[in-house]
Chains A and B, each alone.
Chain A
Amino acid sequence: MISLHLPALQVVVPLISAPLCVLLRRGFGAWLLATVIAWTAFAISLALLAQVLSDGALSYKMGGWAAPWGIEYRIDRLNAFMLVIVAGIGALVMPCAYHSVAREIAPERQHLFYAAFMLALTGLLGIVITGDVFNLYVFLEITSLASYTLVALGADRRALRASFQYLVLGTIGATFILIGIGLLYMVTGTLNMADLAARIPALQELRPVRAAFAFIVVGAGLKLALFPLHLWLPNAYTYAPSVVSAFLAATATKVGVYVLMRFIFTVFGARFAFEMMPLGEILMVLGLLAVMVGSLVAVFQTNVKRMLAYSSIAQIGYMALGISFASVNGLVAGIVHLFNHAAMKGALFLALACVFYRLGSVELDAMRGLGRRMPLTMATFVAAGMSLVGVPLTVGFISKWYLVVAAIESGLWPVAVIVLVASLLALVYIWRVVEVAYFREPDGDAPEVTEAPAAMLVPTMALAAACIYFGIDTELTVGVATEAALSLLEGGP
């Protein structure tokens, strides 16, 4: 019985927990509830993935209303995989959140933090699970509003400004998506993705469809921080509370990439996007710019959190690049990197949360000699960092491999070279942290610090372990990504 309604529960359970968090009015109670709910959501997502892997795509009619009139939740391999990524990161971040939030957020606001966190989680899961474009927009707004709140809770006063900028740009992005959806509704009369996909091919010549395509791609580009629409991201990630940076960096931009993929391949169809429209060229240019600029800017940063934010922009460039090839290997690279990047950036930002918890700073100078004082945290940072560089036997290598294969398949040798040179730049900026942490002596007046609490350390190390495990055993990630890529290219949800 319950298993039939898992798709609804996936969204409803965290949604209900949000007001409950507010009602609890106590930081600890809210944290406990949120943690239990996050793990429940993770369990549901795993059950859904297992179901989809064994039985194929499943469809769920919300409230019993049949599509296309009612809202349909449609779960295929791609979004089942995304659900696991989002819920999994949520579940791993929560145990860390307790200590980190206690240090960074005033006690009277902590329960609000957990409520907003649950709303953000709800929204992200909803965007991924739904098969209805308007429903997608609604969840997009839920998650965006919750994220603005979460960023604004950062201790630094600049967090407010960052949040405001995120709000303005995020709203523009959401509005663009809404305009695109409206245009599509105008010419097709439907909001269901499968229905849209069936009707658009006959209407491809219409200008509103093309305008909708432009609006939706740019709107999604804002959400996923595609260069040069990334300007909200560095400040938002830098000044947000540590666990929020970890959660958003690992999930929010990935969901943005998912939205882009869903619209391009499922709604508009690969033929329209890449053969009639020059989306491949546009994404490739922007992706390459993102990779180079993001990596180079990261090299010059002195705040490690900000450095990782710019690195995220570069990594998103990799995903855009993967999509731009419109080939199986390119898409596999993009999809598998969704997972891989979530794992490594999650681990890196959580490691920084540990550092901030003990040190009160994530400036490069403050981290001198930290390798000896917080050995486990820094070892985790190095492991995830090596993964970001793409060292063999880590997940980063898998993504890089597919991306280079896709580039060479398309005969684009220079692109392959740029990808690999950028991975050297990643080594340079990760190395700056390693050098400071392991090869520099701490200042005389540096505070005595010890290892972070186990509740923070264990999830961080689990993510770093995932970076290595899934770099060796790629059956699950690459397997799912390949199937998802094939079905995306065939078209239709």
Chain B
Amino acid sequence: MIEAMPPGLVLIAGAFLLPATSGVARKALVLALPLATLGLVWSIPDGPALTLVFLDYTLTPVEGSRLGRLFATAFALMAFAGGLYAVNQARVVEIAAAFAHAGSAIGVAFAGDLVTLFVFWELMIIGSTLVIWSAGTDSAYRAGMRYTLVHLFGGIVLMIGIIGHIAETGSVTFEAMHADSLSRWLILAGFLVNAGAPPLSAWLPDAYPEASPSATVFLSAYTTKTAVYVLMVGFAGEGVLVWVGLYMVFYGIIYALLENDMRRILAYSIINQVGFMVTGIGIGTQMALNGSAAHAFAHIIYKGLLLMSAGAVLHQTGKRKCTDLGGLFRSMPITTVCGIVGAMAISSFPLTSGFVSKDMIGQAAGDQLLALVWFLLAAGSAGVFLHAGIKFPWFVFFQKDSGLRPPDPPWNMWAAMSLFAFLCIGLGVYPAPLYAMLPYAVNYVPYTSAHLVFQFQLLLFSGLAFFLLLPQMKRTLTLTLDFDWFYRHFLPRLCRAVASRGSETRRRVEHATMTRIRLVLEPFFRFHRPEGILARSWPTGGATVWVAVLLAVTLVIYYWQGAR
């Protein structure tokens, strides 16, 4: 039976092993587990590698595919670099949870059927929630709670969709489908929740920045990219995804431009980048899918790098707002260089990994003569440079002198950053290995003069715009409001505001409104509270009345049925 173990299980099992070890053994394990997983990932041949019967279905928990291997490789690389980054600083529970999270994501990448997919999907939620909570702060606890609720809701939507799909088709295989029935729409919706699509995008920038510096690095890679993977397998060419993706591109840019917290900037930028991938999936041609896959791979690395450098700053200074930072290049040269490399990659500078991947999506839109999509993608690329390419390094490392003189972070942190920086540039200079892993044959040459001219124009003009508009861009101490503000602040504040208004008439009006709201909600809860009619201890007589009522009612019904 164990011809092919799900590669993710190594990491998941390791997660349980880690807390039991200590000292050098633990460190060795943290570095060895992802590498062992990577080896396993590449040992799985194409096609079903393991089947087992579960309930009434034949499941395929491990099925190799080019696309799955690509994503799993990125996930394993991320686990290695993240583990290296975290090994000396993070709590062991954080690394363990992150490994369980990564292992489940790899499990999804190899899931050949919907049941396995759902199981790993839910395990991912548990793992990531624990990663957030391991920060140990109160705000992380609450953010983790909101995060779980959103994802469990998504899980329910997905589960109903999957069961409905199985009931309709009788097949559990996870393969390409179309959103043509309620159940498949529900599956699509469940996937999109994890991708950070509207209207529930806010879970991402809400939760990730609350985690510890190293935890955010882990989190950035898995949840959204597994969603990209499953969308690519299940819903390639689904037209609606083009517009969902474009919405995410601009949502991410606008909120990132308004944001002051450096890790929230990068979190919004995740949504923006995933938007590019989702758009590519919606276009659905081979070029577009290659582009989305390559971009996902490159993105995991450069976003990990950016968050590592932001995490290093946070770790060394304890500050996270752009307004408190600045001028750090003097004392943190390695972090600065690595941050700039990441920023260049995300803005698709030539000779970085972003350049060789992202523009494939734009090219695909052009090939399909989707003019509007192409223009919007180009505008989005310019926006990326504005919000992540310049804004993040400028405000954190240059700008004014904040007076802070922290040294570069400990060796393991900068080693992890250097590794990823090397990969960013390496893939940009020599993209052949990446192209070889893509699902379809690559028919795209990145380094043509047309591409280079276009890209430099884009970068130069948006760079110019940034510095011309610098006074407007300069962040003051602000908070940005997102959709989650409605359920987190607006409702509670409304209640408080209503309670504290002074004017007598006003109070009376408000009191009446509040009473009316309570009138609607209260009875519902009142019945269920301990003293409520449904929860209190009944006298025996009252309970007996219920018995009599039920007996009488059923008797009447049964007799009536007979009389018909």
Segment with Cβ contacts to A, from B155-163, B257-265, B471-479: B155-163
CB nearest neighbor in B for A276: B561
Query: Are B55 and A393 in contact, CB atoms less than 8 angstroms apart?
Result: no
B160 and A417: CB pair below 8 A?
A: yes
- Residues on the A chain within 8 Å of B495, using CB: none
The interface bits of chain A over 390-431 (1 if a CB of B lies within 8 angstroms of the residue's CB, else 0) are 011100001001101100110001001100110110010000
Q: List 26 A-B contacts (CB under 8 A).
A: A165-B543, A169-B543, A169-B544, A172-B544, A173-B547, A210-B555, A211-B558, A214-B554, A218-B554, A221-B550, A229-B547, A231-B546, A234-B535, A235-B537, A276-B561, A277-B557, A277-B561, A278-B557, A282-B554, A282-B557, A398-B55, A404-B160, A408-B163, A413-B160, A416-B160, A439-B141
**A357 contacts partner chain B, Cβ-Cβ < 8 Å:** no
The closest CB in chain A to the CB of B551 belongs to: A218
Contacts of B114-160 to chain A: CB distance below 8 A = 118-119, 122-123, 126, 141, 152-153, 156, 159-160
Contact with B along A374-399 (1 / 0, CB 8 A): 00000000000000000111000010
A176, CB-defined interface residue at 8 Å: yes
User: Nearest residue in B to A478 (C-beta to C-beta)?
Assistant: B55
Query: Nearest chain-A residue to B125 (Cβ)?
Result: A391
Interface residue A41 (Cβ < 8 Å from any Cβ of B): no
- Indicate whether A201 reaches chain B with its CB closer than 8 angstroms: no
Least Cβ–Cβ distance between B255 and chain A, in angstroms: 29
- The CA-CA distance from A218 to B552 in the complex, in Å, is 10
Q: Are A169 and B547 in contact (CB under 8 A)?
A: yes
From A164, A176, A210, A417, contact of B551 by CB (8 A): A176
Q: Tell me whether A168 is interfacial, beta carbon within 8 Å.
A: yes
Residues of A near B561 (CB, < 8 A) are 210, 276-278
Tell me the complex Cα distance, A39–B515, Å: 60
User: What residues of chain A lie closer than 8 Å to B160, measured between beta carbons?
Assistant: 404, 408, 413, 416-417, 420
A349 contacts the other chain (Cβ, under 8 Å)?
no
> Smallest distance from the beta carbon of A301 to chain B beta carbons, Å?
6
Instruction: List B contacts of A443 (CB < 8 A).
Output: none
**When each residue 535-550 of chain B gets 1 if its CB lies under 8 Å from chain A and 0 otherwise, what string results?**
1011010111011001
Distance in angstroms between the alpha carbons of A233 and B555 in the assembled complex: 25
Interface status of B461 (Cβ within 8 A of chain A): no
CB–CB A393/B119 < 8 A: yes
Interface residues on B, range: 35 or more
A301 and B554 within 8 A (CB):
no
Question: With a CB–CB cut-off of 8 A, which chain B residues contact A417?
Answer: 156, 160
Does any Cβ of B come within 8 Å of A453's Cβ?
A: no
What distance in Å separates the Cβ of B50 from its nearest Cβ neighbour in chain A? 14
Given known pairs A210-B562, A398-B55, the reply for A231 and B118 (CB within 8 Å) is: no
Interchain CB contact under 8 A, B167 and A207: no
Does B54 sit within 8 A of A, measured CB to CB?
A: yes
Residue of B nearest to A293 (CB): B534
Q: How far is the CB of A243 from chain B (nearest CB, A)?
A: 23
Q: Does A296 contact B (CB under 8 A)?
A: yes
Contact A229 B550 (CB under 8 A): yes
Q: Tell me the interface secondary structure of chain A in the complex.
A: helix
Q: A168-B540, A168-B544, A300-B535 are in contact. Are A427 and B152 (CB under 8 A)?
A: yes
Asked if B557 and A405 sit within 8 Å, CB to CB, the answer is no
Q: Which of A180-214 contact B (CB under 8 A)?
A: 205, 207, 210-211, 213-214
Q: Pick from B535, B555, B558 the residue with the most CB of A within 10 Å.
A: B558
Q: Beyond A300-B529, A416-B163: 17 further Cβ-contacts under 8 Å?
A: A169-B543, A173-B547, A210-B561, A218-B550, A222-B547, A231-B537, A231-B538, A293-B528, A293-B534, A300-B532, A393-B119, A398-B55, A404-B159, A405-B167, A413-B182, A420-B159, A423-B156
The 8 A CB mask of B151-186 against A (1 = contact, 0 = none) is 011001001100110110000000000000010000
B-contact bits for A227-248, CB 8 A (1 contact / 0 none): 0110110110000000000000
A232 closest partner in B (C-beta): B543
| B530 sits at the interface (CB 8 A) | yes
Docked pose: A439 CA to B137 CA in angstroms = 10
Q: Does A30 contact B (CB under 8 A)?
A: no
Query: What residues of B have a CB within 8 angstroms of the CB of A301 in the complex?
Result: 530, 535
B546 adjacent to A296 (CB under 8 Å): no
> How far apart are B542's CB and chain A's nearest CB, in angstroms?
8
Which A residues lie within 8 Å of B547 (CB)? 169, 172-173, 218, 222, 229
Residues of A within 8 A of B529 (CB): 300
Q: Determine the interface band of chain A, counting residues with CB < 8 A from chain B.
A: 35 or more
Contact of A310 among B535, B537, B543 (CB under 8 A): B535
Among residues 505 to 546 in chain B, which have CB atoms less than 8 Å away from a CB atom of chain A? 525, 528-530, 532, 534-535, 537-538, 540, 542-544, 546
Residue ranges of B at the interface with A (Cβ–Cβ < 8 Å): 54-55, 118-119, 122-123, 126, 141, 152-153, 156, 159-160, 163-164, 166-167, 182, 525, 528-530, 532, 534-535, 537-538, 540, 542-544, 546-547, 550-551, 554-555, 557-559, 561-562
A474 nearest CB across to chain B (Å): 6
Rounded to whole angstroms, the CA-CA distance of A301 and B534 in the bound complex is 12
Please provide the chain A residues from 224 to 276 with a CB less than 8 Å away from any CB of chain B in the complex.
Answer: 228-229, 231-232, 234-235, 276
Q: Which A residue's beta carbon lies closest to that of B555?
A: A214
Instruction: From A300, A402, A416, A474, give the contact of B530 (CB < 8 A).
Output: A300
Residues from chain B with a CB closer than 8 A to the CB of A296 are 528, 534
**Contact residues, A270-292 vs B (CB, 8 A):** 276-278, 282
Q: A293-B528, A416-B160, A424-B152 are in contact. Are A231 and B543 (CB under 8 A)?
A: yes
- Of B153, B182, B528, most A-chain CB atoms within 10 Å: B528
In this assembly, does A217 line the interface, its C-beta being within 8 Å of a C-beta of chain B? yes
In angstroms, Cα B167 to Cα A18, docked, is: 51
Interface of B is mostly: helix
Whole-angstrom CA separation of A455 from B315 in the bound complex: 47
A165 to B546, CA, bound (A): 14
A169 smallest CB distance to B (angstroms) = 6
Contact in complex: A214, B54 (CB < 8 Å):
no
Residues of A within 8 A of B555 (CB): 210-211, 214
A293-B528, A405-B166 known; A392 vs B118 contact (CB < 8 Å): yes
**Chain B neighbourhood of A276, CB < 8 A:** 561
CB 8 Å contact bits of A291-334 with B (1 = contact, 0 = none)? 00100110111100000001000000000000000000000000
CB < 8 Å neighbour of A228 from B159, B525, B550, B558: B550
Residues in chain A near residue B164, CB distance under 8 A: 408, 413
Question: Are B163 and A401 neighbours in the complex by a CB distance under 8 Å?
Answer: yes
Residues of B within 8 A of A229 (CB): 543, 546-547, 550
B530 & A213 in contact (Cβ 8 Å cutoff): no
Q: Are B163 and A405 in contact (CB under 8 A)?
A: yes
Q: Are B54 and A474 in contact (CB under 8 A)?
A: yes
Say whether A215 faces chain B, with CB atoms less than 8 Å apart: yes
Which of B126, B141, B163, B554 meets A217, CB within 8 Å?
Answer: B554
Distance in angstroms between the alpha carbons of A277 and B553 in the assembled complex: 13
B415 CB to closest chain A CB, in angstroms? 34
Q: Is the CB of A207 within 8 A of B534?
A: no
A165, A392, A409: most-surrounded residue (chain B CB, <10 A): A392
CA distance A404 to B161 in the complex (A): 11
Q: Contacts of A218 on B, CB cut-off 8 Å?
A: 547, 550-551, 554
Separation of A416 and B534 alpha carbons in the complex (Å): 24
B540 touches A165 (CB 8 A): yes
Q: Which residues of A contact B530 (CB under 8 A)?
A: 300-302
Given A172-B547, A232-B543, A401-B163: A207 touches B535 (CB 8 Å cut-off): no
For B156, the chain A residues whose CB sits under 8 A away are 417, 420-421, 423-424
Q: In the bound complex, how far is the Cα of B54 from the Cα of A310, in angstroms?
A: 31
Closest to B166 in A: A405
Report the separation of the CA atoms of residues A401 and B558 in the bound assembly, to the nearest whole angstrom.
Answer: 32
Interface centre among B529, B537, B561 (most CB of A within 10 A): B537
A164: chain B residues at CB < 8 Å are 540
Report the nearest B residue to A168, measured CB to CB. B540
> Which residues of A have CB within 8 Å of B159?
404, 420
Bound Cα distance A221, B537 (Å): 19
With A207-B559, A231-B543, A420-B160 as given contacts, are A215 and B167 in contact (CB-CB < 8 Å)? no
**Closest Cβ–Cβ distance, residue B43 to chain A (whole Å):** 24
